[in-house]
Amino acid sequence: MKVLRQTSHSYVERHSQQLHLYHFKLHFKTLRVEYKTCFPLPFHGSILDHSLACVHPILGLPEEDILHFPSFHPRLNSNHCLDLDLDLDQDQDRDQDQDQNSS
C-alpha cells in the first residue's frame, strides 16, 4: 500500500488492485474518515477532491510526489468509525528527547 497524495480533506492509497480515496475531517488531533471510495485499477484520469480545492493526478506521479505518512495510525473507535491519529505532539516530544540524548 502506498499513500500517493494527501490534502487537508483527503488522501489516496494505492493497493494492488484498487485505489482508495479517503475523505476525512480533523477532530482535535484525530482525523476521522467520513467515507472511502474505491476505484479499480488500472484507473485513468483524475479524482476530484471532496473540497473541490484539489485534483489528484493518479497515474504518472513523479517519485517525489509519492508521499508516505508513517504517523497515521488507523484504529476503530467505539462507534466503529475508522480514525487516523495524528500524534503531532508525541512526534515533536520524541524528536526533542533524541536531541537531548545525543548531546
SS3 24: strand
Q: Report the pLDDT averaged over residues 7-36.
A: 66
Q: How far apart are CA 73 and CA 54, in angstroms?
A: 24
According to the model, what pLDDT value does residue 17 have?
72
In sequence order, what are the residues at sequence separation of 6 or more whose Cβ sits closer than 8 angstroms to the Cβ of residue 42? Answer: 59
User: For the whole model, what pTM was predicted?
Assistant: 0.36
**Residue 5: which pLDDT band, with cuts at 50, 70 and 90?**
low
